[in-house]
Amino acid sequence: EFRRVLFRSFLRTGFASLLLCSAMLAWQTSAVNHAADEAAIKTLWAKFEAGFNKGDWKTCASVFTVDGDRMDSYGNFFHGRETIEKSYIEIFSGAYKSGTTNSKLISLRFVTPDVAIADLDTEVHLPNQPVRLLQATTVYVKQNGQWFISAHRPRVRAQTLPQNQKK
């Protein structure tokens, strides 16, 4: 009886150890994969910002999925890469002509291996205007091994609204 109890205990302990080791290995593997994906997402956003800073609407739209969407900081909604491209043509020929942007990644969380959510703080510099401070949430999806923006939602940071500015 003692041997049977000892054997069962050994089996349970061995099985638990095996599960723990498997979980640790899976976690390490996913962390390594996320590092590569995080770098790819940062590169994609840098491509977007470089395009924005040059007024290059094609580059800005190219980082979105074909069925992606964006909302601008004024609440206008654009669905589909073609519509997004037209929206950038419009802003680069108008209010955002010669404008530049600079963003800081605040957080990046992988919901699944192919979906990530990023939070950004962004400064938008427009000629002869105060700096616009924005916060944005961006959803990234991996399609056929390549990352794209599926949804982008910027909003004006509260401290930049006229009623919240110090006089």
pLDDT in tens, 88-108: 999 999 988 999 999 999 999
Rg of the Cα atoms in the chain: 23
Q: How confident is the model at residue 15 (pLDDT cuts 50, 70, 90)?
A: very low
Q: Is residue 9 scored above 90 in pLDDT?
A: no
Per-residue pLDDT at 73: 86
8-state DSSP, 130: P
Per-residue pLDDT at 62: 98
pLDDT for 115-131, tens place per residue?
999 999 999 999 988 89
Q: Is residue 23 scored above 90 in pLDDT?
A: no
Q: What is the distance between the alpha carbons of residues 163 and 167, in angstroms, rounded to a whole number?
A: 10
